[in-house]
Amino acid sequence: MNLLFENLEKLIDAPNGIEKARELILQLAVQGKLVKQDPNDEPASELLKKIKKEKERLIAEGKIRRQRELPPIKDEEKPFELPKGWKFEKVGNIAEFINGVTYSKSESLDSPFDDYLPILRANNINGKINLNGLVYIPKKKVSERQLVKKYDNIIAMSSGSKSLVGKSAQLLFEFEGSFGAFCGVLRFYEGLNNGYLNYFLQSPYYRTEISRSSQGIGINNLRKDNLLKLIIPLPPLNEQKRIVEKVNSLMALLDEIEEKRERRNQKRIKLNNASLNKLITSKDDIELKSNWKRIEENFNLLYSEPENVEKLKQAILQLAVQGKLVKQDPNDVPASELLKKIKKEKERLIAEGKIRRQRELPPIRDEEKPFELPKGWEWGRIGSLFDLKTGATPSTAKKQYYGGNIKWLVSGDIHKGEIFDCDGRITEEGLRNSNCKLIPINSVLIALNGQGKTRATVAILRTVAACNQSLVAMTPIGEYIMPEYLYYNLKGRYYEIRDITGRKQRRGLNMGIVGSLIFSIPPFNEQKRIVEKVNELMSLCNTLEEKLKQKEAEAVRLVGAVVNEITNSKSVNYKG
């Protein structure tokens, strides 16, 4: 049964499906399941006799060294059953291993120089050899054996990443140079098909065996002995050639499919971006409805991946804060009145000693305003309209400060969106003896820094808690600005706020920067309508996102089942 042909479409349509299809093809190739066996082929056992004879000749002529005898392969070591005419052999019996060149940084140059040779390193190995970032070392450092030859297989022997150890690439062009000490070369003896050997060193079987063999703390290392003990399945020479031809044709087909898919994806991304841009830049309610209808009609085309839904969410939030998501009502009390009430309430709280007077913030200049506001809206600075607090970390040397009943937030808690609880706890004593302060319910929190994408993420606090110095809490003054509106406003500006300090500054945001941020303020009743509408649309987006994730997970599960079925079948022959 032609399982590979029948299931190829299922494979390539799944997430990472083309990559999985490539891996499957290579796995089938080294298991003897990709092409038909020919009983007239000279068996691999005869090929190995010829290689052994050639090896003895090279040793006698002093061209290679005699290696320590490797023990025979036991039945329990054999990874799978081979077709008739195939043979398992240890790599060390059919290849010579050559160590890389050791040199110091002071001996290397970044550009060519007389009597210097280019050196290949692990970063030059990625399935194929690339010549990016070569270094050059004195020619005298390189022995004759260490000069790489065409069809040498360069292998990364050490890396900080276990997944990179053992990665291999075959040199398919003439290159006058050598390779560094963190690499090694497998130089197979003549008589084998170089294409088959290259595909073997890219196969999932090889990667799995290498992963088991690599060891080390911090730096993962592949020992030469383990590489030479690796068991390679060898077909008859004629079958090696047929395998290479078949793999080449299938890989070319997958390359073509991948290229078509990439072009299709680029068109989809372009269409999605154009649709969202039209939506955001809608001039009036009629145009907005028309542009939204266009998105709805092409929903399945535009939003086939979870990542695209995130763009839609950002567009919804941009429309919300620009006053384009819901209708304005001329009967609403304008935001200018809200600002007056906030100012009055703030002065009262300062006079009563309930909040501190903050540094006066400069008026908002016209060039700071990113768009024109609807009638009844106003611009404001966060520091003028909210009470800002940051937290602290009680002394970690005092065990009695931790493990109490007071919730204590860190930047890693912010991704939850709404915070009802957290893992951190401090005691009353820890609170008293630090700069921690209790933050009121419904305050909006923003992360000043943190790992990965944490910086500039926001959340609403739905419980009383304290926080550490990586967060700023923005507590509404009176009930004039909804915390949910501020939350959506800042959430929609995540990338803008994140980039404020510039990529080179590692300190992230600070309370001064947060306080200076301007934001658009609608009338209070419109805030309610906006929040209600955003909640509704975000719920739809979340449902869509979840469905797409389930679809992807089901596709991945299906691919796993298909791969397992094909790999464990007795024979697989691809037609065409």
What's the pLDDT tens digit per position in 197-233?
999 999 999 998 988 876 665 567 889 999 999 999 9
**Contact at 8 Å (CB) between 559 and 20?**
yes
Compute the average pLDDT of residues 178-189.
95
Q: What is the pLDDT of residue 391?
A: 92
Q: How far apart are CA 566 and CA 576, in angstroms?
A: 18
Two structure tokens written together for 241: 């050639």
Two structure tokens written together for 98: 């050559």
Question: Which of 60, 91, 59 lies closest to 73, judged by CA?
Answer: 91
Q: What's the pLDDT band for 51 if we cut at 50, 70, 90?
A: very high
Q: What's the pLDDT band for 501 if we cut at 50, 70, 90?
A: low
CA torsion through residues 21, 26, 29, 30, sign: negative
What's the pLDDT tens digit per position in 72-107?
999 999 999 999 999 999 999 999 999 999 999 999
Q: How far apart are CA 465 and CA 360, in angstroms?
A: 28
Two structure tokens written together for 278: 């039209």
Across 490-565, the runs of DSSP E, i.e. the strands, are 518-521
What's the pLDDT tens digit per position in 99-158?
999 999 999 999 999 999 999 999 999 889 999 999 999 999 999 999 999 999 999 998
What's the pLDDT tens digit per position in 525-537?
999 999 999 999 8
Compute the average pLDDT of residues 299-314.
79
Q: How far apart are CA 355 and CA 348, in angstroms?
A: 9
Compute the average pLDDT of residues 11-30.
82
Q: Which domains does the chain have, with CATH numbers?
A: 1-38+247-331+526-576 (no CATH), 42-235 (3.90.220.20), 335-522 (3.90.220.20)
DSSP code at position 105: G
Q: What's the pLDDT band for 309 if we cut at 50, 70, 90?
A: confident
What's the pLDDT tens digit per position in 377-389?
999 999 999 999 9
Q: How far apart are CA 207 and CA 27, in angstroms?
A: 11
To which residue do tokens 């939850």 refer? 416
What's the pLDDT tens digit per position in 449-495?
877 788 899 999 999 999 999 999 999 999 999 999 999 999 999 88
